[in-house]
Amino acid sequence: MSYQRLLRRTLAATALLAAAGFAATASAQFKNAPIPCVGVESIGTADMSADGVITLHLHSLAPDPIAEGVLTYAPDDPQYDEIKKHLGGIAPGESKQVRPWC
């Protein structure tokens, strides 16, 4: 994996986690009940290209989406099988909703 790709993936994941943390803080500040993870059907979409690359288009949850990120996983990526399993399988040309990691 190239350094730029690793850096981009790390920054996107960090942004999503930070956004989730800010959303939780804002939610508590305004005494809104947090959205339970099990009640969330989707945090974005996943697409698989013809060459097997999985692209996740993710967004944070809060009262409004406040962060978005795109992560890509090539078949040789160490997390590829985990992502594919989490999606319940995916085939080239297919798009699926991404359920949260609860």
CA 40 to chain centre: 13
Which residues of the chain are under the pLDDT cut of 70? Answer: 1-36, 63-65
Q: What is the pTM of this model?
A: 0.65
6 membership: H or E segment, kind and range:
helix 3-29
Contacts 24+ apart (CB under 8 A), 10-14: 12/58, 12/69, 12/70, 12/71, 13/69, 13/71
Domain boundaries, the chain: 3-98
Contact assessment for residue 47 and residue 55, using Cβ atoms and an 8 Å cutoff: yes
pLDDT of residue 32: 58
pLDDT of residue 70: 96
Give the separation between CA 58 and CA 61, rounded to whole angstroms.
10
Predicted pLDDT at 34: 63
